[in-house]
Structure 1
Amino acid sequence: MTHFVGRKAELRTLHGALDRVRTSSGHPGQCILMRGRRRIGKSSLVEEFLHQAGVPQLFFTAGGGSAEAELAELLDAASVSTLPDRELLLEAAPNNWNAAFRLLAQVLPDDSPSVLVIDEVPYLMDRVDAFEGTLQRAWDRHLSRKPVLLLLVGSDLSMMEALNSYERPFHQRGTEMVVGPLTPADVAEMLDLDPATAFDAALLTGGLPLICAEWRKGADVWEFLDASLSNPISALLVSAERSLAAEFPTQAMAREVLRAIGSGERTFTNVARAAGGIAHTTLSRATDLLVDKRVVAAELPISTRPSKERRYRIADPCLRFWLAFLEPHMPEIERMRGDLTLSRIKQGWTSWRGRAVEPLIRESLARLLPDGELPAAPAVGGYWTRSNDVEIDIVGADREPVAKKLLFLGSVKWLENSSFDAHDLAALHKHRAAVTDDPVPLVAASRAGVSCAGLQGAYGPEELLGAWRRA
């Protein structure tokens, strides 16, 4: 069996829920609503948990077919499950979801725990009439009375959130669980990489297990890219397209807006221009959809004064890389000229990485602090003006986007052989003066170290990676 890397916190959560099933009386059933982007490894996580748990289980994955087709698939999953009385469900052959849930409750063990997994729940919400109400009634009347852990899993983040929202039938019946990408520390362990290269790998792979699995242990960025670009069906090349096809099968305008943001445009006006001069109302609908799907992040600068200077970025760094360097040149790669694409990436890599790594560094600091003179910060973001005459990479504050108090300001310098020096510190002092008169602590994150005094905090790849090892 392949060594399962990471997900320690998630596995603890699942085992804890199963322990509550074992020890609870009355209505011992527990439900977890697990959500995470496509190809993030949710199913693999559940499979590993089921392997470790060793209890009777049924794992059903919806496929997006009709209600009747999904019901047939459920019965097929039951036939290969480890539920002791699964034959009863197969013999009864229920012809609707109400009956199927009632029969499922009957075949679940009464005196020992079991696990029932329904994967890709949003397909059922979309295709089965009144599915949420049917599920709610089945849970309240039948399933929750059994010692069962019900895992409802989905990739459509907004629909999974809606399942548990107020005034929806299943509200507050499940505990929400978000599965994110593999952390930089997970990537470092899985691929046997030094901290600096681990951050590079986290950006390129997005922490997606399928892509990480194709990265040879100990290989550097250019070895990995050379191998991936030489294989037209490598996970790096095909994962993003498959995810987008599943998420936006008919929304052509959303794809155009995504390409514009992926090309590096960050403001509303520039995105509209890059997307072909589309109308602002059309762009608003497209960006709202992309933000709702968590594909795009829409951010405001953090400061003590309100701002309307919203900026957009691709939330997943792997998708960001694919849109910037790979999608525009897929025909070139498909005719086995990935060498041309690789040369283009090498030319733009330093600039692309310098901006792409900023959100990851902010998240690292949020996990790492408090440390020394730097306090913990409820909000860690950035600051900018419309003209970009003042741009601060790191802003720690008591809240966002309008803060009552700024806790620290900082700069990111993520170059191979150039340290954060006195010139960088002078620029940071100048930008701090433009934002506040207070002597707010200053911090630097640098790939190649710090060669000046005067900072209240300095972090390199090793320290930042350590923030992700705490879990």
Structure 2
Amino acid sequence: MKFYNREKELEKLKSIDLLSSKKAQMTLIMGRRRVGKTELVKRFLDKNKEGIYFFVGRKKAKALLEEYTAILAEKFPTLVTPFRNFSEFFKYIFEISKEKKITIVFDEFQNFKFIDNSVFSTIQSLWDAEKNRARINLILVGSLITLMEKIFAGSHEPLFGRATQKIYLEPFDINTVQTILEDFNLKTFTDLLNFYTIFGGIPKYYESLEYEIESNKRSFLEIVHDLFLRKDSLLRNEGFDLLIEEFGKNYQTYFSLLQIIAGGSTKMSEISSRIGIPITALSRFLENLNKTFRLIDRREPIFSSFSRLGRYYLNDNLLTFWFRYIFRFRSLLEIGRERKVLDFIKKDIKVLQGLVFEEIVKQRLLSEDTRGKFIFEIDGIGKFWDRVGHEIDLVAYNQKEKKVFFGECKISPGKINRKCISDLKTKSAFVPWMKGERKEYYGVITIGKIRPGLKRTFEKENFIVWEF
């Protein structure tokens, strides 16, 4: 698969590289696994001839040092004797950097914790002593976010405060995903919704999709079966592969929580009831999933500050899909009942896609706003709900102009009728923001075409219609 849309990150790496010509730079690149960190640094190194890439594999220190010696010897042929320890290795690198500018990348840097914990103190000592003389561009890439945060943000850790730059690599936005799918000749909005629902914006999963498409023309559900449900499927154990190490000994509790939330229980009381943990004890686990592991978001109704109305959602589409269907039905999958699980997915996935559709629309509205195509400049956008069950899929507003847009998102145009107008106006009356002063706009967003007569009725009543 070709390289997509990391221009900002590449530009930042280039500017950091220029800075390293005068003074040592230490850059952290972090992000979830499969998000494209390695591809980013390799693309950067393609145009940086002084760059050297080291992968920190979990092997014995002696074997890793022999590997690193061989890599350095290709650049510096006078190096013939293997390093006896990591102290010698890093001293050699810093000595070179005093003679010539050099870029060094360590991928999966956090793995040094399991190989030789003294590496961090060694780097700290050399950095503090040589940073003003060395012309080194040190790029440290990590996937275990909790461990990387501890190494660099823990106040008692040797490398605390040493990083000069930090890049957190985010998943692709919906526009980039659409470009990828169009390159695969998947050009409909339904294609976009289908694959964004199961992959989100993670590049690596679209590589798997490219192979599926090239090897055979398959339907969406056949691709789901091939990638997730078979015993040898590439993504069947993806949740375990991504998270077991992050969670450690508490993984069973965290996995259960993620399954419950992915399944649709998003209120604290619902989650507590389902898992059997009192709310007082549950809050610590949810806080960790939110702040430490960055896997869930706590969302509030728009126009509300922190309140008891908050709901919890996974912020990773693939993990939402995996916990909702694969982890939940792992017993059925173990005994080969793949078709039964696939039948359930076929019936249920519209519920999940409804939530993803709202997120896509939100991204698109913000994108339209930046191009000046929306009805007003958006200051804030979100979802509204209250204690008594009133819920509006999409609310956007402009504070200065006192304008607000209320929208309903419907995957199926067949579910749209005149009642949508009256229902939306009724629910909007419960939104307290600038009541009596605001100018209100209403709309419906769907996939496909609504009936022409109904569309004309909506337009007569100034009810905006977006058809994707």
What is the TM-score normalised by the length of structure 1?
Answer: 0.81
Written as runs of structure 1 = structure 2, the 5 A alignment for 1:22-421 is 24-25=21-22, 27=23, 29-61=24-56, 63=58, 69=60, 73-81=64-72, 84-85=75-76, 88=79, 91=81, 93-97=83-87, 99-108=88-97, 110-111=99-100, 113-124=101-112, 129=117, 134-142=122-130, 145-161=133-149, 165=153, 169-171=159-161, 173-190=163-180, 191-196=184-189, 197-215=191-209, 216-217=212-213, 220-229=219-228, 231-251=230-250, 252-275=252-275, 277-291=276-290, 292-303=292-303, 307-370=307-370, 371-387=372-388, 389-396=389-396, 408-418=404-414, 421=417
Q: Which residue of 1 aligns with 2:419?
A: 423
- The 2-side partners of 1:440 and 1:78 are apart by 67
Q: What is the number of residues matched between the two proteins?
A: 443
Q: CA RMSD in A?
A: 3.3
**Cα displacement (A) at 1:255:** 1.9
Structure 2 regions of 5+ residues with no counterpart?
none
- Seen in structure 2, the aligned counterparts of structure 1 residues 305 and 3 have a Cα distance that, compared at 3 Å, is closer
8 Å CA contact 1:419, 1:449 repeated in 2: no
- TM-aligned CA deviation for residue 271 of structure 1: 0.4
TM-superposed deviation, 1:248: 1.6
CA 148–254 in structure 1, closer or farther in 2 if over 3 Å, else same: same
1:129 Cα shift? 5.0
TM alignment of 1:12-27, pairs within 5 A: 12-21=11-20, 24-25=21-22, 27=23
Please give the per-residue CA displacement for 1:269-321, whole angstroms capped at 9, x wherever unaligned.
Answer: 1101111x112233112111111201111112221566321110111011111
TM-score (ref. length: structure 2) = 0.82
Contact 1:443 1:457 in 2 (8 A): yes
How far is the alpha carbon of 1:342 from its aligned partner? 1.4
Q: Which amino acid aligns with 1:258?
A: L
Query: Identity of counterpart residues, as a percentage?
Result: 21
Which protein shows a greater Rg?
A: 2
Q: Which residue matches 1:466?
A: none
Moved more, 241-250 or 169-178: 169-178
Return 239-248 or 259-268, whichever deviates more: 239-248
Check 1:79–1:375 CA distance in 2 against 1; reply closer, same or farther (3 A cut): farther
Where does structure 1 lack aligned partners over 5 or more consecutive residues?
462-471
Q: Residue 86 and residue 379 in structure 1: after superposition, are their counterparts in 2 closer, same or farther (change >3 A)?
A: farther
Q: Equivalent residue of 2:393, what SS?
A: strand
- The alignment partner of 1:150 has SS state of strand
CA 56–173 in structure 1, closer or farther in 2 if over 3 Å, else same: closer
Structure 1 residues 407 and 173, CA, compared in 2 at 3 Å: closer, same or farther?
farther
Q: Could you tell me which residue of structure 2 aligns to residue 467 of structure 1?
A: none
Distance 1:132 1:385, change over 3 A: farther
Separation (CA, whole Å) in 2 of partners of 1:448 and 1:327: 33
SS at match of 1:181: coil
